[in-house]
Structure 1
Amino acid sequence: MPEIAKAVPLTFAKTVGLLQPAKLPSDGTAVLFLGSFGLEDMCLRAFFRRGAEDLARVGIQSLRFDYPAMGDALDHENGTLDLSQWEEASVDAAGVLRAHSGAKRVVMIGHGLGATLALRIADRIEGLAGVACLAPVVSGRAYLRELQIWSRMVDEGLGLGEAYRNVSEVAIGGHVLPEPLAGQLKRVALSDDRLPSLAHALIASRPGRAGDLELGESLKARGADVSLVPYEDYDAFVANPSQSRLPIALLNSVIEWAVGLSSAVIEGGELYRNPLDTDASLQGDGFVEHPVVFGANLYGIHCLPRTSTDRPSVLLLGTGYDRHAGWGRSTVNLARNLARRGIPSLRFDAAGVADSPARPGAPDQVLYSDFQEHDVREALDFLAQHSAAPIVVVGRCSGAYLAIRSALSDPRINGVVCANPFVFAWDKAIDVDVALKGGARSLDDYGSRLLRWETVERIRRGEVDLRSAARNILKGIMRRLGVAVKPVLARVIPVGVRQRAILAEFAKLEARGVAIELIYSRGDIGYQHFAELFGADGRGLRRFPSAHLTVLEGADHNLSPPFAQAAYQERIVDLCDRIQAASRTQDQA
């Protein structure tokens, strides 16, 4: 497979984009990717990245970017956001793509809301060759209604209590569509009289979605050469970033269509044009952010305070296959709040996640594998090149696991903050894919769900995997019994081999002086695993003075409620304060 050039970060219109250059001569055609919103957009990141790589191999450059107030973009200054701002940013992105690539023609590939935006701005795009509409939002009102249903399912899956659900706004998974944008979307309808006249269009039609086919017919009636391709397994692709399955057949069809719109490759042409401004940055309220590509091709954001500082640097690890912006942009907000308090940070996509290409030879499933420790080492190298200050590594769930494993192998790490780690050491006999699909919950969570009428209704409709649920409940009961009798059995039965190994690793970190902050939501399954090792009250941690425990009542696995996010941030700041104080004491000694 031909090697491709590294993606180049760009900033424009108060947002961030990734230009994918092409090593082969360009024929004057470039592709603009237009994303969607919420969890759907999080799942799209790897899909668009794979598409950009495939296009680069045949000499076509591309650009993907964040809409205003989404992803890594700056928030709007007056706090309001409307549809015109997304449209203007998309038009700007097309201009940036043409300027940086030298292309004369532009193809737009949009998914969900991105497909709708592409059609709305098509008449404003100079040199437009065609538009690909993947799962287009034909009716904004219907889309918002589906989003509301989807949001409730996500919140229930997280175990988020009704009191902490965001029901006052259009939101899903912490991602918010504020007014007036949500109200404007409600009035969006791709009716015949509002459609552009296109030369070429592609419609990816989902089974049972008549609106997709009707859109294709309407565009054809307005003179477009319309290609229809099937969009299979849409729900499996966009429902959950950690379990998302890329629709490779669809991707291949879309890339083939886009390549077909380009003319013959110009022999002897320019390899690719360097970006006009390679020193990309965003200036925000109390922070400066630099999008960077480092190491073996890892993409991230270096977030710095406005003034120089000797505070520890924080490495923010991702969770599962979520992009580095985090669930509901939580990592973006965390990084910027830390910068306002004088703490620099780096957030990035691990190899094979979102916008970072996979490492050669890496397995398809990289979560809970040693491969991700390579990514952490390269991120530590990057931070060490920019500051000699101590380093704190922070992560939630699989990111928390990776933080602990990396601290054990890399002495440059001075502290870790781990939120809701599932385990501290992975049992290689357990298939990661099976574990993720099983969705293990705590026994308390299962108990509370069984008391809800909606759970009974879902069981009746066959929407609950009773076999997996029963298996997880049985495991929970056995763990609960194990924790209850452990103080007695420990007097006569040696601690298990795996538990003994984990305790030895905590002792190793203690001996090195690595500070550890453990944060758990009370009902999280990871807290049950913690209790097996250290007791539900954490008394087993007393032998490790550098380790501290915080248990949050009412928080879900993702720490969605604002109080949980605030507690998470304060634990990070407190740990940075302790490490900085200790470092200054050593310097004075």
Structure 2
Amino acid sequence: MVEPDTGAMMARSMAIDISERTGSDPSLDALSLSGIGLDGAIAHPVSFDGLAGIFHPARRDVRQAHAVLFVSPWGMEELCSRKFQRVLAERLAARGVASLRFDYLGAGDAFDPEDAGRVADWLSDTRAAFAYLKRLSGCAEVMVVAQGLGCLIAAQALTDAVGAGSMAFLAPVVSGRAYLRELAMWSSMIDDGLGLRPGQRLAEAGAIAGMTMPEGVADAVKKTNLANLAAAPAHTILVLSRPGRVTDADFAKHLAAIGCEVEEAAFSGYDDLVSSPTLSKISGDVVNRLVDWVLSQTHAESPANTGEDIILNAPQRGRGFIEQSVQFGDGGRLFGVFCRPHDREAVSSVLLLGAAYDRHAGWGRLSVQMARTLAREGVASLRFDAANIADSPPVKNAPDQVLYDAAQNDDVAAALDFLGTRGKGPFIAAGRCSGAYLAFNGALADDRIGAVIAVNPVVFHWRKGLSVDEALHKRPRSFGEYSQRFRQGATFKRLISGDVDVASAGLNILKATMKRLSTKTARLFRRGSEEGRAVFGAFDRLKAKNTAVHLLYSDNDDGLEHFQYYFDADGDGLAAYRNVSLTIIPDADHNLSTPEAKTIYIETVKRLALERKPPAGAQ
């Protein structure tokens, strides 16, 4: 979420006005360089060499001589910074600077090495993106904005590149070895928060948030230390240092010592930016500083026309699937990836809805894994970012906080419009957490959804007046989760060592206990409350529409208490709804981080999709 001052105004200034537009534009499915607008207002998806990215063309009337290549961080930092990069790229495009953001092989929407038929080499990927941006923009010179691990990659990959201009290093990774140690600690904290047991955690070097670096990448990172650079990676460099990180400041001094013209400033708000994808805050001051710095390094000029035309989002073939990065909706406002079988017509289509503010690749790239697995079985899918999430810009006059807002049903409708041009319905909607809520409520709003797979929905109905922001910040764990955690030896060790805030933990346990007790009492009145009427009314409507609903909950998930409140601890309350089924996933966290939990989810979606009809037993 963008801060309510400079950042919020900045985001709103880039909002898409859909008030006078209707329908989606099929021409946006296949995009040619010669056919895109050059007003700096709309970005476009691109694909090349098994990689995927977003190209922001420059505004023509103020076009600058340089373009900007974003070289991304890795893992959790990348998830949290996705929207930050988009906002910065939008601002630059409006000031006449074209840019490209891209995913490394084995990350985001890019192919895995096995699908690309080559080993992962993120330096080569960066060089390929650099050359591709020069072709797209027509600019002979390219500046670099790198963050985190991207700084270590850019400094190696582009030092000798022809046309490489100034570089900005944001929160730079200097020592690869130290970075991997720090990443392991960060990963452990995330896993602690998810309640993962030691045996459920990824142990590979460079693994974090359910993502693993492709083979060979971590080894290459480990062997690199930018403190040993002997040649300047660029003449002019901006370093945004994290407060309190001596290594960042020392790196800036080293760059100056080897001949770089260095400007150093604080990366204000860095910790808030990378706290989590859901709670991430963008510093308007940092965005403004970067825009001003980029403009100070270039000048107005009409780049030479390359004379070539390029299909920006050409479909790419992997092992058993074909993927195409697409944009759709009014004015091409929504960004996603359409994935289909490579050798046959799809038997059905699935709409994959994102959780919270995660990019459409999903936590641990679960949506990518899901889409490609489905395609190999003959099922097409669309994964996309809803408005004001990751790559999709906000909609004018829509709230900044989009989660659990009815406006997201418009995004679902636009996605169904797109799927309707590629195949026949009814379609399946699948999602986790807030994505599960959106799938459930999307089916209520749109008859084109014939089946819903909802994983760990926190609620089925959002109570009027309940603040989403407060709920996201203060949501306690379930009683079952606290009970499970206190049976783990690691929790006792952390309690004894003082790593656990005893007072805070005790208060949260008390809240969870009181919630469980009040739930048992309140069940007597559940149908009479405003929320109860809405919940049962929703299930009644889906039953009347013969919409199949498959609920999946991780055992001890907080959302399970909401379900049990209305349908009893053993789910007996579902007896009145034969179109609804319930599956409890054992030993799973809220995000389905483990391979076993992911498999249950994927197999459930695959089974329903291959049936091409509601599950057996639906009325």
- Aligned with 1:340 (options 353, 362, 376): 376
Give the whole-Å Cα distance in 2 for the aligned partners of 1:506 and 1:568: 22
Q: Tell me, yes or no, if the aligned pair for 1:202 and 1:226 is still in contact at 8 Å.
A: yes
CA displacement at 1:339 relative to structure 2: 0.5
CA displacement at 1:238 relative to structure 2: 1.2
Q: Tell me, yes or no, if the aligned pair for 2:430 and 2:453 is still in contact at 8 Å.
A: yes
Q: Tell me, yes or no, if the aligned pair for 1:80 and 1:180 is still in contact at 8 Å.
A: no
Q: Which amino acid aligns with 1:524?
A: D
Q: Could you state the TM-score of these two structures normalised by the residue count of structure 1?
A: 0.92
CA displacement at 1:465 relative to structure 2: 6.3
- Aligned with 1:392 (options 408, 424, 428): 428
Q: Runs of 5+ in structure 1 lacking a partner?
A: none
Give the aligned partner of residue 290 of structure 1. 324
Give the aligned partner of residue 288 of structure 2. 252
- Aligned with 2:549 (options 516, 525, 546): 516
CA displacement at 1:341 relative to structure 2: 0.7
Give the aligned partner of residue 603 of structure 2. 570
The alignment status of 1:276 with 2:313, answered yes or no, reads no
Give the aligned partner of residue 207 of structure 1. 243
Q: Tell me, yes or no, if the aligned pair for 2:554 and 2:585 is still in contact at 8 Å.
A: yes
Give the aligned partner of residue 401 of structure 2. 365
Give the aligned partner of residue 575 of structure 2. 542
Q: Could you state the TM-score of these two structures normalised by the residue count of structure 2?
A: 0.88
Give the whole-Å Cα distance in 2 for the aligned partners of 1:317 and 1:80: 29
Give the whole-Å Cα distance in 1 for the aligned partners of 2:165 and 2:498: 46
User: Does the C-alpha gap of structure 1 residues 397 and 271 become closer, same or farther in structure 2, counting only changes over 3 Å?
Assistant: farther
Q: Tell me, yes or no, if the aligned pair for 1:22 and 1:272 is still in contact at 8 Å.
A: no
User: Does the C-alpha gap of structure 1 residues 582 and 419 become closer, same or farther in structure 2, counting only changes over 3 Å?
Assistant: closer
CA displacement at 1:455 relative to structure 2: 4.5
CA displacement at 1:436 relative to structure 2: 1.2
Q: Tell me, yes or no, if the aligned pair for 2:115 and 2:318 is still in contact at 8 Å.
A: no
The alignment status of 1:308 with 2:344, answered yes or no, reads yes
Give the aligned partner of residue 539 of structure 2. 506
**What secondary structure sits across from 1:123 in the alignment?**
coil
Give the whole-Å Cα distance in 2 for the aligned partners of 1:80 and 1:282: 12
**What secondary structure sits across from 1:527 in the alignment?**
helix
Give the whole-Å Cα distance in 2 for the aligned partners of 1:355 and 1:163: 34
- Aligned with 1:49 (options 83, 86, 91): 86
CA displacement at 1:573 relative to structure 2: 1.9
Q: Which amino acid aligns with 1:422?
A: V
User: Does the C-alpha gap of structure 1 residues 255 and 465 become closer, same or farther in structure 2, counting only changes over 3 Å?
Assistant: farther
Q: Which amino acid aligns with 1:75?
A: D
Give the aligned partner of residue 139 of structure 2. 103
Query: How many residues of Structure 1 are paired with residues of Structure 2 in the alignment?
Result: 579
What is the root-mean-square deviation of aligned Cα atoms in Å?
Answer: 2.6
Give the aligned partner of residue 349 of structure 1. 385
Give the whole-Å Cα distance in 1 for the aligned partners of 2:47 and 2:228: 35
Q: Tell me, yes or no, if the aligned pair for 1:27 and 1:59 is still in contact at 8 Å.
A: yes
CA-to-aligned-CA distance 1:485-506 (integer Å, 9 cap, x gap): 567x46xx86433113211110
CA displacement at 1:467 relative to structure 2: 6.8
The alignment status of 1:69 with 2:106, answered yes or no, reads yes
**What secondary structure sits across from 2:114 in the alignment?**
coil
Q: Tell me, yes or no, if the aligned pair for 1:91 and 1:124 is still in contact at 8 Å.
A: no
CA displacement at 1:478 relative to structure 2: 3.2
User: Which structure is higher in RCO with an 8 Å CA cutoff and minimum separation 6?
Assistant: 2
User: Does the C-alpha gap of structure 1 residues 380 and 33 become closer, same or farther in structure 2, counting only changes over 3 Å?
Assistant: same
Give the whole-Å Cα distance in 1 for the aligned partners of 2:614 and 2:468: 40
User: Does the C-alpha gap of structure 1 residues 169 and 118 become closer, same or farther in structure 2, counting only changes over 3 Å?
Assistant: closer
Q: Answer with 354-363 or 119-128: which moved more.
A: 119-128
Give the aligned partner of residue 410 of structure 1. 446
User: Does the C-alpha gap of structure 1 residues 498 and 202 become closer, same or farther in structure 2, counting only changes over 3 Å?
Assistant: same
CA displacement at 1:412 relative to structure 2: 1.1
User: Does the C-alpha gap of structure 1 residues 172 and 273 become closer, same or farther in structure 2, counting only changes over 3 Å?
Assistant: farther
Give the aligned partner of residue 527 of structure 1. 560
Give the whole-Å Cα distance in 2 for the aligned partners of 1:275 and 1:360: 32
CA displacement at 1:275 relative to structure 2: 5.6
User: Does the C-alpha gap of structure 1 residues 354 and 494 become closer, same or farther in structure 2, counting only changes over 3 Å?
Assistant: closer
